[in-house]
Amino acid sequence: MSSDSALLSLPDNPVIVGFGGVGVDLLATVESFPKPDTKNRTTQFKVQGGGNTGNALTCAARLGLKPRIISKVANDAQGRVLIEELEAEGVDTSSFVVSKEGTTPFSYIIIDNHTKTRTCIFTEGYPTMVPEDLSRAKLLSALNGARVAYFDVRMPATALVIAREAFRQNISILVDAERPREGLNDLLDLADYAVCSEKFPQTWTEASSIPRALVSILLRLPRLKFVIATLGKDGCIMLQKCADEGSHLEEVDVDNSMKSLTMRKDDSTTMPTCVASNVTKFRADGIGSVCGRLYFGTSEKIPPSELIDTTGAGDAFVGAVLYAICANFSPEKMLPFASHVAAAQCRAIGARSGLPYRTDPYLASFIN
């Protein structure tokens, strides 16, 4: 394989735009999470850019996309460093709003070296971004030629203005549904794709299981092409909507189908895998049925000695999904790819240090 071919392919249209949270992470690794009213020493400390949108689009940039971010920071030391870091990664920050006064968002993140868990303490920046901060000319420039628009549901009034314009321009919309937030439902109504945290589907739908919740989500949101629920070390579940092929399709219980898929997973490999159902009408009693395909993706088995920090793993997964959409990956390729990228991130401290580049041999198994 030549050096040129040993790269992820560049999509025909690599331009994406994201709106939402950016900030600075102050990451402290400790031997164990501190008890109240005690003093602890860090074993490692790092200051790095953060925020869902900043992390996901940094990941996408390293994979070869050309991201543009719309967001707001203050004209303070943290804001200037944040923008410089994004620009060094190849992220277009020309649509940022920089407030003369105020504070750039930041988070304290405590990483427990024993349990490999992290605790985040977030401080919101101010003044927050409002629609009046974004001129129409700047908005149109940011969206010009974009393949996908990403939203993490921060600053909802401004997010909806941007999403409605993206919708008018037929730009695909991906919503990162981490938890119920103000403005989320309006954004989901416009979305083509949704990536959810493990708890979100059942919280939002009140369904008794994640598969049943995914059926409910697709029925509530007829524009959605697929919805993914990430499960951390347990992998992910995806329900993809398919055209109804007629009454000949048998209705099957979605929970039973999910159990069948999990029984087919390959436990012999450490690499992430994906198993898929046939096109089927999935039934959730009391909710309804939807025609689609169900996918179960496993996570990568990371050796304990290599697992450093899970901060930003979900953002890395989303960044890889953005790349996969632009590169027209099949779901069977997209889910293992996104899990593989997220696993790379877990091998370094912070949300960005471990993100792989397009040239990284780590991604060789996903090269066309």
Whether residue 124 is predicted with pLDDT greater than 70 in this model: the reply is: yes
Band (pLDDT 50/70/90 cuts) for residue 321 is: very high
Band (pLDDT 50/70/90 cuts) for residue 65 is: very high
Q: What is the pLDDT of residue 8?
A: 86
Pairing of strands 251-253, 226-230: unpaired
3 state DSSP class of 221: coil
Cross-strand pairs, 276: 295
Whether residue 338 contacts residue 321, with contact meaning beta carbons closer than 8 Å, is answered with: yes
Ranges of beta strands (E only) in 242-325 are 251-253, 274-276, 280-284, 288-297
Of all residues in the chain, the percent with pLDDT exceeding 70 is 97
Band (pLDDT 50/70/90 cuts) for residue 9 is: confident
Summarised one tens digit per residue, pLDDT across range 46-56 is 999 999 999 99
| Six token digits for residue 276 | 């898929």
Please give the CATH topology (third level) of the domain spanning 15-22+51-102+128-358: UDP-N-acetylmuramoyl-L-alanine:D-glutamate ligase (3.40.1190)
Query: 238, 185, 188: which is closest to 214 by C-alpha?
Result: 238
Which backbone phi and psi does 363 adopt, to 5 degrees? -95, 10
Q: What is the pLDDT of residue 3?
A: 47
Summarised one tens digit per residue, pLDDT across range 196-220 is 999 999 999 999 999 999 999 999 9
pTM strictly above 0.85 = yes
Q: Give the H or E element holding residue 334.
A: helix 331-345
CA–CA gap between residue 311 and residue 334 (Å, rounded): 21
Q: How many C-beta neighbours within 10 Å does residue 131 have?
A: 13
Q: Which residue has the tokens 């690499």?
A: 271
CA–CA gap between residue 100 and residue 109 (Å, rounded): 27
CA–CA gap between residue 164 and residue 126 (Å, rounded): 25
DSSP output for 80-147: HHHHHHHHHTT-B-TT-EEESSSB--EEEEEEETTTTEEEEEEE--BSPP-GGGS-HHHHHHHHTT-S
Q: Tell me which of 57 and 362 has the higher pLDDT.
A: 57
Q: What is the pLDDT of residue 245?
A: 58
Band (pLDDT 50/70/90 cuts) for residue 243 is: confident
Q: Where are the domains of the chain?
A: 15-22+51-102+128-358
Band (pLDDT 50/70/90 cuts) for residue 2 is: very low
Summarised one tens digit per residue, pLDDT across range 134-164 is 999 999 999 999 999 999 999 999 999 999 9
Q: Which residues contact 163 (CB under 8 A, 6 or more apart)?
A: 149, 151, 173, 186, 187, 190
Pairing of strands 274-276, 288-297: antiparallel
The lowest-confidence range among 68-82, 176-190, 232-246, 315-329 is 232-246
Whether residue 249 is predicted with pLDDT greater than 70 in this model: the reply is: yes
